[in-house]
């Protein structure tokens, strides 16, 4: 299939780099048009394939002409573009709704056979979260333009470059306590980034997946408290886990959103009000022939860097075990 072209929007992001690798390897071997706002900062993508297999293309996903140029001559299109913290022209509506709509329109007009769009579990129009509402509206806008688009809704995605597990492990290095938003009862079903990337490649390859929606989760469901306990254990840290009511968390987030890095925003607090797990009747990784990787099997491979002695710490004897507590 080396003669088939796949355009990947958001190729240089956390999920994007893994999706590019999955599409370039093994029995897929597509030619990949990797779009990014800054090709010079995405040169690490090109060695993931054979010489000339991966082409970097400067693209503004909010510009219809750029999108049309990127999809021209493509057999398949993958949209991975998304934001958690809006700012400037990068609003939820622009990135999560208008961009998928323009991508769907351009793909239809260019005669593209397959569009794979990555959304999120919890994408519902009645959500209190603007992020989740915009994800739902984006799915609808895309399918209006390209009805046979395949939609993937992952739970929280973990992997070496993730912004969730790495962030809390990093905070545990200097904070005496970590917050349990809403008491830490919210359920998550973390899914490995490599499994999501394989799902993307499978949907690009298999025409039977067109028009379907898949919810992607790992093999186990955890409460937010349990997730933080795992992170602290793997990072070798003892910290207090402090329950914070939603109302208090939203008040604190109002101020925290203005700090560098936006540690927490009110909209992120709203996301914690709904469990983030695969629906019982949803199509899943199993329907794509993919066995999900467990959090416990992968997390130690990159959280070690937050231990006091890093890779030189003897995890079998020096790692903290049991429930986290103040050191």
pLDDT digits (tens, 9 = 90+) for 112-121: 999 999 999 9
Q: Provide the pLDDT for residue 55.
A: 96
Contacts of residue 102, Cβ cutoff 8 Å, sequence gap at least 6: 61, 64, 67
Provide the whole-model pTM. 0.92
**Looking at residues 162-190, what average pLDDT do you find?**
95
**Looking at residues 8-32, what average pLDDT do you find?**
91
Q: Is 228 exposed, middle or buried (0-12, 13-18, 19+ CB in 10 A)?
A: buried
Q: Provide the pLDDT for residue 64.
A: 97
Q: Provide the pLDDT for residue 225.
A: 98
Structural fold of domain 5-159+189-216 = Rossmann fold (3.40.50)
The answer to whether 77 and 100 are in contact (CB under 8 A) is no
**Looking at residues 77-100, what average pLDDT do you find?**
94
**Does residue 34 come out as left (phi exceeding 0), alpha (psi in the -120 to 50 range) or beta?**
beta
pLDDT digits (tens, 9 = 90+) for 37-67: 999 999 999 999 988 999 999 999 999 999 9
Q: How many CB atoms lie within 10 A of CB 206?
A: 13
pLDDT digits (tens, 9 = 90+) for 241-298: 999 999 999 999 988 888 777 788 999 999 999 999 999 999 999 999 999 999 999 9
The answer to whether 327 and 239 are in contact (CB under 8 A) is yes
| CA–CA gap between residue 216 and residue 214 (Å, rounded) | 6
């Amino acid at each position: 299939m080396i003669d088939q072209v796949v355009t990947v929007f958001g190729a240089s992001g956390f999920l994007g780099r893994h999706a590019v690798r999955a599409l370039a390897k093994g029995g897929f071997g597509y030619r990949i048009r990797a779009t990014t706002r800054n090709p010079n900062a995405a040169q690490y993508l090109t060695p993931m394939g054979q010489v000339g297999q991966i082409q970097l293309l400067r693209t503004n996903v909010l510009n219809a002409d750029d999108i049309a140029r990127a999809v021209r001559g493509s057999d398949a299109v993958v949209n991975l573009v998304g934001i958690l913290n809006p700012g400037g022209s990068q609003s939820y509506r622009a990135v999560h709704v208008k961009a998928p709509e323009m991508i769907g329109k351009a793909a239809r007009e260019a005669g593209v056979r397959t569009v794979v769009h990555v959304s999120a579990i919890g994408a519902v129009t009645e959500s209190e979260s603007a992020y989740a509402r915009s994800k739902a509206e984006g799915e609808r806008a895309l399918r209006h333009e390209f009805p046979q688009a395949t939609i993937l809704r992952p739970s929280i995605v973990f992997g070496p470059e993730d912004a969730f597990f790495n962030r809390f492990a990093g905070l545990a290095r200097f904070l005496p306590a970590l917050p349990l938003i809403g008491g830490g009862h919210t359920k998550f079903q973390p899914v490995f980034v490599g499994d999501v990337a394989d799902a993307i490649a499978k949907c690009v390859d298999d025409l039977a997946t067109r028009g379907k929606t898949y919810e992607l989760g790992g093999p186990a469901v955890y409460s937010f408290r349990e997730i933080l306990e795992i992170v602290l254990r793997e990072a070798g840290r003892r910290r207090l886990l402090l329950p914070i009511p939603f109302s208090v968390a939203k008040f604190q987030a109002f101020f925290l959103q203005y700090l560098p890095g936006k540690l927490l925003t009110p909209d992120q607090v709203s996301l914690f009000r709904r469990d983030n797990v695969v629906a019982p009747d949803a199509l899943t990784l199993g329907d794509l022939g993919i066995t999900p990787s467990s959090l416990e099997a992968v997390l130690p491979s990159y959280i070690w860097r937050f231990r006091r002695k890093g890779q030189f710490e003897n995890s079998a004897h020096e790692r903290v075990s049991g429930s986290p507590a103040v050191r």
